[in-house]
Structure 1
Amino acid sequence: MLQNDASCNVYPKIGTAMSLPALNQDEIKFVHEAARFLDNPGFAMRAMNLLGQPIDALQKKLPASVQDKIGGLVQKALQTALVAAIKTVPAKSEKPTNWRDAVESSKKSGRIHTATVAVTGAVGGLFGLLALPVELPLSTTMMLRGISDVAGHWGMDLDDPNVQLQCLYVFTLGSTQSPSDDENDSAYLGSRIAFEQIIRSASTYMAKKSAKEILRAIDTGAAPALMKVIARIARSFELALTEKVLAESVPIVGAVGGATINALFCDYFGQAARYHFGLLHLEKNHGREHVQAEFANARLIKKATRV
């Protein structure tokens, strides 16, 4: 049975893998799927394939003033989404009792929120860049709710500040930019290492404060550790968002295309959440070393097939 541990240590300690059971075939398959998804180019490549236009060509069409404005909008949108998450933590529901149920229920949750966010994309397609200040906080908040639902299906405690920040962290997984310049290193695992300490610091701060105090601190910028992690996540999310805005700026997109792009955007993060929290769940049950070694093995197999 999937456990919803109140401590919900989403970063399992290293050194316990040998005393835990080995991964079964379904779990190994999931890890390999996760490696293919999380270490591949993100949302932009999928959107550009859909539209048939290269990202660099679209980049020239986006006004510099808009590019400058996106950064501030992204950070504000993430703050708005986190505030909404803290205020409206979903009621705890009965968790799936086996691995396959967890996989399937997390897929279903992602699809439901994808359909909802598509509506805001239609608005963005109709009004273009003018709608961004309104559409972005709304769609980001709805996507974060979808990501949180996926986390819940994996047995994560949504009252835990660490889990709430892990949900926000999923927004960093939509960019093609990697914290590592070495193609032999995993972009996903490298990203987790890069964010691990600042997420710990921010969640420690949040654990010592009431929801009201946290909300006030976000509003006033009085929580350096928390604002730091939001700013770092915003920088990564900004890249993915810019790619989305570029896709929506194509003249033929319009309302229908805008809904499609937003659905694609939300679906990407829903899948990223499913694999991210699924891996964390496996690490808790089987040990971090075992799961990450299998993740690395999947990357080696993929690399070998290219030769």
Structure 2
Amino acid sequence: MTTTELTLTTDTDAALTSFARRYRDAGNVGMQVLSVVGGQAENLLERLPDRVKDQLETATERALHVSLDAAGRTRGGRLPDGGKWLNTAVTTAMGAAGGFGGLPTALAELPVTTTVLLRAIQGIAESHGFNPTQQSVRADCIRVFAAAGPLAKDDGADLGFLAARVTLTGSAVHGLIARVTPRLATALGQKLAAQTVPIIGAVAGAATNFAFTTYYQEMAHIQFGLQRLSHDTGIPDDMLIEELRLRIEAMERR
């Protein structure tokens, strides 16, 4: 069965349209950040010192490893999930603090923000009926970070983070981190650069963290919402992803 032969129920069609809107709106937040920073996303990385750019992937991979364990531990304890707006408020405040002190504090803030983001993604997975302690779900939570960052121009052609899932062992999750890292490092590098903008570093830090938290929470809802939709309807993931892609591209053409 091809997507052109696929007959969708009214509810499934509405759900896919809703996911497409979330995808589009999440990316639009990044454009607001660029208006604050006053530059193009592709030029932000040039503002970082070479020594930082050279170590960015290593720092990002280390932050992901630390965050994966820390996020799981805090969710397993007495600290409840904060919800979308609380998570956004927390990271926005941390971004402001990180930007206030320039690059040193921005670098120190990076793993903390990554932990809050991953914890929020795990909570979203659970809200859609998935167990974030399972290795396959842990991998899907990491895979959300493979989506283009909010400062990247994305016309809907890149939905690779929704790729078909496989059963994973713990070591494979760490291998996935290594594959996701280059993409996330570029996005986080843009965030760091924005936080170092003279005078408005704190404002830019708050704005970028707001954009990142909003963006990745929306990507998580799309990721796990599609998985739940596939489970409930019996429609294969790849068909739903293609239907989603068509809706996103149609919105971009308007």
AA aligned to 1:31 is F
SS at match of 1:156: coil
1:273-297 deviation per Cα after TM superposition (whole angstroms, max 9, x unaligned): 1222212211222212552343133
The answer (yes or no) to whether the contact 2:94–2:109 under 8 Å persists in 1 is yes
Question: Are the structure 2 counterparts of residues 142 and 291 from structure 1 closer, same or farther at C-alpha, using a change threshold of 3 Å?
Answer: same
Q: Of residues 36, 45, 62 in structure 1, which corresponds to 2:24?
A: 36
Q: Of residues 9, 29, 32 in structure 2, which corresponds to 1:22?
A: 9
The answer (yes or no) to whether the contact 2:33–2:207 under 8 Å persists in 1 is no
Matched residue, 2:68: 82
What residue ranges of structure 1 are gaps of 5+ in the alignment?
1-13, 93-105, 207-222
Is the counterpart of residue 61 in structure 1 residue 47 in structure 2?
Answer: yes
Q: Of residues 232, 245, 248 in structure 2, which corresponds to 1:296?
A: 245
Q: Distance in 1 between matches of 2:252 and 2:246?
A: 10
Q: Distance in 2 between matches of 1:85 and 1:153?
A: 16
Matched residue, 2:137: 163
What number of residue pairs does the alignment pair up? 245
Q: Which moved more, 1:45-54 or 1:79-88?
A: 45-54
CA drift at 1:142: 1.0
Give matches, 1:182-201, under 5 Å. Answer: 186-188=157-159, 190-193=160-163, 196=164, 200=166
Q: Distance in 2 between matches of 1:292 and 1:47?
A: 28
SS at match of 2:198: coil
Q: Aligned-residue CA RMSD in angstroms? A: 3.2
Question: Are the structure 2 counterparts of residues 294 and 245 from structure 1 closer, same or farther at C-alpha, using a change threshold of 3 Å?
Answer: same
Q: Distance in 2 between matches of 1:29 and 1:140?
A: 29
Matched residue, 1:123: 97
AA aligned to 2:219 is A
Matched residue, 2:179: 232
The answer (yes or no) to whether the contact 2:98–2:108 under 8 Å persists in 1 is no
CA drift at 1:252: 2.8
AA aligned to 1:63 is P
AA aligned to 1:32 is A
Q: Distance in 2 between matches of 1:83 and 1:50?
A: 34
CA drift at 1:67: 0.6
SS at match of 1:263: helix
1:232-253 deviation per Cα after TM superposition (whole angstroms, max 9, x unaligned): 1111110110111121121132
SS at match of 1:112: helix
The answer (yes or no) to whether the contact 1:110–1:147 under 8 Å persists in 2 is no
* Bigger RCO of structures 1 and 2 (CA < 8 A, at least 6 apart): 1
Question: Are the structure 2 counterparts of residues 155 and 51 from structure 1 closer, same or farther at C-alpha, using a change threshold of 3 Å?
Answer: same
Q: Of residues 125, 137, 140 in structure 1, which corresponds to 2:114?
A: 140
Q: Distance in 1 between matches of 2:140 and 2:57?
A: 21
Q: Of residues 231, 254, 269 in structure 1, which corresponds to 2:216?
A: 269
Q: Distance in 2 between matches of 1:111 and 1:125?
A: 21
Q: Which moved more, 1:274-283 or 1:49-58?
A: 49-58
Question: Are the structure 2 counterparts of residues 244 and 160 from structure 1 closer, same or farther at C-alpha, using a change threshold of 3 Å?
Answer: same
Matched residue, 2:147: 173
CA drift at 1:50: 3.3
Matched residue, 1:215: none
SS at match of 1:70: helix
Question: Are the structure 2 counterparts of residues 41 and 80 from structure 1 closer, same or farther at C-alpha, using a change threshold of 3 Å?
Answer: same
CA drift at 1:74: 0.5
AA aligned to 1:48 is L
Query: TM-score, normalized by length of structure 2?
Result: 0.81
Q: Which moved more, 1:111-120 or 1:20-29?
A: 20-29
Question: Are the structure 2 counterparts of residues 234 and 293 from structure 1 closer, same or farther at C-alpha, using a change threshold of 3 Å?
Answer: closer
Q: Distance in 2 between matches of 1:41 and 1:263?
A: 12
Is the counterpart of residue 285 in structure 1 residue 232 in structure 2?
Answer: yes
Question: Are the structure 2 counterparts of residues 70 and 90 from structure 1 closer, same or farther at C-alpha, using a change threshold of 3 Å?
Answer: same
Is the counterpart of residue 244 in structure 1 residue 203 in structure 2?
Answer: no
Query: TM-score, normalized by length of structure 1?
Result: 0.68
CA drift at 1:35: 5.0
